Chains A and B, each alone.
Chain A
Amino acid sequence: MQLYRKKRIELVVETARAKAIIEMIDATGAKGYTVLQDVSGKGQRGIRDEAHLTGLFRNTMIIVIASEEVARQIVERSQVLLENYAGIVALSDVEVVRDEHF
């Protein structure tokens, strides 16, 4: 089967910032994204999990698969939005079946 090379950007960000990140992703022209609410884990800012009263210590994961050009833009612009906020941004190579979807 024919596969097409794409980039996968994985962003684990503070939920307070998720909306701004998603708007930025839309603005870059990416054709879609996947959002995983309330992910937990541990990092530089200690354990991040449910503290559902405030919602401040939660993370959201956003996955985007896009062309290399769009992917680089997303990575770059995310750094401006994540200044002073918790965030992990990683870029990797993937292969997809449906070229036109990404």
Chain B
Amino acid sequence: MLHIAIGNLVSPMILFFVLGVLSGCIKSDLAIPDAISKGLSLYLMLAIGFKGGAELAASGAAGTVALSLSAALVLSFGLPVLAYALLRWLTSLDSVNAAAISAHYGSVSIVTFVAASGFLGDRGVPYEGYVVAMLAVMETPAIVSGLLLARMSRPDGAGAPRTPLLSREATREVLLSGSVVLIVGSLLIGWLTGKDGLAIMAPVIVDPFKAVLAVFLLDMGLQIGRRLGEFKAVGWPVVAFGLYMPVIGAAIGLLFANAIGLSAGGMTLVAVLAASASYIVVPAAMRHSLPKANPAIYVTLSLAVTFPFNLIVGIPLYYKVARMLAEMSGG
């Protein structure tokens, strides 16, 4: 595992990420302005959506698309149940915190996905464009699962008055979250305009993509470096969960993707989707809907433990296994 990680380390993207973590750790005043950081993340979502759509227009494959999207739904709804069981069994977290964390692990990290697509791009490995649609599908169902788990585990659950699981305001915020709208919108535009559209957009969304990702990862690193001090509050059994849960998720993702018959690139990305944990959309939803859960635990876990693990060790590892699976099934 170590040599895979080291091979992946020598890329500007990872090195800028490490620079960010180190500067955050030593409390340097280096900071990316808020508005620029938001702009970069919008750029990354637009680029990944558009490229996925353009690829979809080029390849087609209707039956597999429906199957893949259903698999995405099952993963997003199902992974939190597994995560919750593991947390309750192997850590001393209460049910509300376990439920809040479990929702993060059914949902996805867009940046991890983007980094994985950059990793595949570097190696010239193609992937199915509709995997990007799976990304959009997987973002929110996990929130519903997490809230249901929290409700079912509450001792007064049966007799309590039935309040809606998510308030109307929270539902709108989650379903129409900027990231979902931008990714799905860009995917549709890419799909509608196809090769000609890509020719127009390519100078901006294809060539500078990895460099922009490197700058964004620098910013991620900075924010993670500042949170490292929170590890003690999180507790080591929970930190360990942040390391084994992505591997379990990835294994399940790989099985699904292999059964559907995706390419090695597509399988890698589905593994990344199942392995990654949300740190933008889900934390916001949990803060609204499960205010008793401690945000310092769930944000630190998905942002400062699982994200770096997937970025440095996970992506190359999942790719290696995906390639083996593809070879076994006669690719």
Question: Which residues in B have their C-beta under 8 angstroms from that of A89?
Answer: none
A16 near B287: Cβ-Cβ < 8 Å: yes
Q: With A51-B226, A53-B303 given, is the CB distance from A16 to B38 under 8 Å?
A: no
SS of A interface (majority): loop
Question: Contacting A54 at CB < 8 Å: which of B38, B288, B299?
Answer: B299
Q: How many residues of B contact A (CB 8 A)?
A: 20
Nearest Cβ in chain B — how far from A13, in angstroms? 12
A56 near B34: Cβ-Cβ < 8 Å: no
Q: With A53-B280, A53-B303, A54-B303 given, is the CB distance from A84 to B292 under 8 Å?
A: yes
B287 near A56: Cβ-Cβ < 8 Å: yes
For B290, the closest partner residue in chain A by CB is A84
Question: Contacting A85 at CB < 8 Å: which of B169, B284, B291, B299?
Answer: B291
User: How far is it, in angstroms, between the C-alpha of A2 and the C-alpha of B34 when the chains are bound?
Assistant: 44
User: How far is it, in angstroms, between the C-alpha of A14 and the C-alpha of B283 when the chains are bound?
Assistant: 14
Q: Is A98 among interface residues, defined by CB-CB distance under 8 A?
A: no
For B167, the closest partner residue in chain A by CB is A20
Chain B, range 211-234, C-beta contacts under 8 Å to A: 219-220, 223, 226-227
Q: Is B197 among interface residues, defined by CB-CB distance under 8 A?
A: no
A54 near B34: Cβ-Cβ < 8 Å: no
User: How far is it, in angstroms, between the C-alpha of A14 and the C-alpha of B169 when the chains are bound?
Assistant: 17
SS of B interface (majority): helix
User: How far is it, in angstroms, between the C-alpha of A55 and the C-alpha of B219 when the chains are bound?
Assistant: 14
User: How far is it, in angstroms, between the C-alpha of A54 and the C-alpha of B34 when the chains are bound?
Assistant: 11
Q: Is A50 among interface residues, defined by CB-CB distance under 8 A?
A: yes
Chain A, range 49-67, C-beta contacts under 8 Å to B: 50-57
Q: Is B91 among interface residues, defined by CB-CB distance under 8 A?
A: no
Q: Is B105 among interface residues, defined by CB-CB distance under 8 A?
A: no
Question: Which residues in A have their C-beta under 8 angstroms from that of B295?
Answer: 54, 56-57
Nearest Cβ in chain B — how far from A78, in angstroms? 15
Q: Is B37 among interface residues, defined by CB-CB distance under 8 A?
A: yes
B223 near A53: Cβ-Cβ < 8 Å: yes
Q: Is B279 among interface residues, defined by CB-CB distance under 8 A?
A: yes
A contact set with B: CB distance below 8 Å:
14, 16, 19, 38, 50-57, 83-85
Show 18 A/B contacts (Cβ-Cβ < 8 Å), sorted by A: A14-B287, A16-B288, A38-B34, A51-B223, A51-B227, A51-B299, A52-B37, A52-B38, A53-B219, A53-B220, A53-B223, A53-B280, A54-B284, A54-B295, A54-B299, A56-B283, A57-B295, A83-B291
